[in-house]
Structure 1
Amino acid sequence: MQKSVLLLLLFGLQTLSAYVEESTASSPKTYQGLDATLWMQTSVEHDVACVQAYRLATMQAINALRDPCWTAAVEQTAGYAQLPPAVILDLDETVLNNAAFMARLVKRDKDWDEELWSQWVREKKSKAIPGVKEFLNHLIQNNVAIFFITNRDYRLETPTVENLSRVLGMKINQSQVLCQNEKPDWTWNKTSRRAFVARHYRILLLLGDDFNDFTYQGKIPPPERITQGERFKSYWGRRWILLPNPVYGDWEKAFYHYDGAMPAAKKLHLKFEALDSNNN
């Protein structure tokens, strides 16, 4: 009897040990992006923040149309008053919601994967950000040209245009989507593409989720990014409309010095080091 009880106890311990080992092996190591991705996918707060941003953009577009001296592009300095109006938007997390892709990364415990990203874009499953369709329809009704400046690679332009046309319910042409590397000087820095549009249109508004969507400041550390943001205080909420993105962006890259090849553990360490628990 005692021998039977002992055998059962040993079997139970082995089963428990195997379960713990299996659970530990399959569990994510960092949970990076988990809460932020869930917030984007499930919270009313995310959707409301986006709708608020686009309602503000609609009001500001009306104001901009009334003022021929108004421009949102720092690249546009003179001779633009008589140009036809246009608005420039970023794509990802500004017009297209990719939270489902980010959920894939969280489940695979990856911070980024270029191959998986290309596969996602070709699936054309991105949804429209709340509020964007109404805003774009307002622009069309007022004869305002629409351009999308994106750091998606130019080789992904066709599925991107098809995805946009479907979820926005309007025909989007490739000429409206200015991708990275589409021309030799169209780099990650979006300045040259904004200047390209600004040569032919008066830029009423810029919309995006990253500082680079408005003006390029270089690869600077987080405190300097905040300082540079203060320099453009008069633009935010007037000429520049920011959409929420707590998952990725230059704000996050700045913690690990924009070195995407850095090991994930080192990136995570630097992020923990940047936390301020003393409100300094």
Structure 2
Amino acid sequence: TQTIYRGARTQLDRSLKDRKWSAFPQSGRYHKLPPAIIADIDETLLDNSAFQARMVARDINWDAAAWTEWCKEAKAEPIPGALEFLKYAASRGVTVFYVTNRKHGEEEDATRRNLAKFGFPWRDDIDVLLTAGENNWTSDKQPRREFVARSFRVLLLFGDDFNDFIPAHVSLDQRAALEKQHAAHWGTKWFLIPNPTYGSWEAALAGFDRSLSRERVVERKYESLRK
């Protein structure tokens, strides 16, 4: 991850020099807008592997209540390279927007404390922590990216999931096609932090069928590996 964030620093410098640069479709006089970065939080900026270890120890795949309790503990550590990069971006006058599917309310308050504990860049004059449930936003992050892009020139996007860049509720074949369609963005304007633990790729493998048993989901994963 340090290599990814070091590479992003070079691209940030380039984007600040090029007023037409944008990591998100923007039109009109967007080059006049102040610069911003949009970043996911979990497994992109904060490491939740300790929570995942708890789930393994309990032989649980996912538990929403346990996740909320983990968020409230505010114990997630920074992903290597993330904090240093964002501090550098802030020093260059770039606003950081944290677009997360942590829930509006108690998870949001705890997340703010977790980020503040390590000194992640912040602004008190505007809302930079955009959570699921806030302003009727769903887990689809596209409307939040559009929200930021109305007032800022979006320089770079960071995330560990397809949904951090483009809508992810699509089939495996569609995901592959979209990955190729946006090939020029990966590693230049879009920075993907690898996450083999969880993500929308799991839902895509399951055909977005929430009724599947845990065992059947695992079977789907093995079937995919054999292709």
TM-score by length of 2: 0.94
| Aligned residue number for residue 205 of structure 1 | 156
Q: CA deviation at 1:221?
A: 2.3
Return structure 1 stretches of 4+ with deviation > 4 angstroms: 169-174
User: Which whole-Å deviations, capped at 9, do the CAs of 1:142-169 have from their partners, x for residues lacking one?
Assistant: 1111100001110211000000110236
In the other structure, the counterpart of 2:165 is 214
More helix by share: 1
Residue equivalent to 2:138: 187
Amino acid at match of 2:115: L
Residue deviations 1:162-194 (CA, integer Å, cap 9, x gap): 00110236556581100011012x111111101
Quick check: 1:210–1:242 contact (8 Å CA) kept in 2? yes
Q: What percent identity do the matched residue pairs reach?
A: 39
Structure 2 gap segments, 5+ residues each = none
Query: Across the two proteins, how many residue pairs are aligned to each other?
Result: 225
Root mean square deviation, CA, Å: 1.5
Residue matched to 2:28: 78
> Pairwise mapping of residues 44-83 of structure 1 onto structure 2 (< 5 A)?
50-74=1-25, 76-83=26-33
Contact 1:208–1:241, Cα closer than 8 Å, also in 2: yes
Q: CA deviation at 1:128?
A: 0.4
Q: Structure 1: where are the runs of 5+ without partners?
A: 1-49
**Given that residues 87 and 144 in structure 1 are in contact (C-alpha distance below 8 angstroms), is that contact kept between their aligned partners in structure 2?**
yes
Using the TM superposition, give the Cα deviation of residue 85 of structure 1 relative to its aligned residue in structure 2, in angstroms: 0.4
CA contact (8 A) 1:71 1:204 kept: yes
Partner Cα separation in structure 1 for residue 120 and residue 178 of structure 2: 37
Instruction: Name the structure 2 match of 1:229.
Output: 179
State the one-letter code of the partner of 2:87: N
Report the Cα distance in structure 1 between the residues aligned to 2:71 and 2:12, rounded to whole angstroms: 30
Higher Rg of the two aligned structures: 1
Match of 1:143 among 66, 81, 93: 93
Q: Is the counterpart of residue 111 in structure 1 residue 65 in structure 2?
A: no
Secondary structure in 2 matching 1:178: strand
TM-score normalised according to structure 1 size: 0.77
In 2 relative to 1, CA 72–94 (structure 1 residues): closer, same or farther, beyond 3 Å?
same
**Aligned partners of 2:53, 2:85: CA distance in 1, in Å?**
27
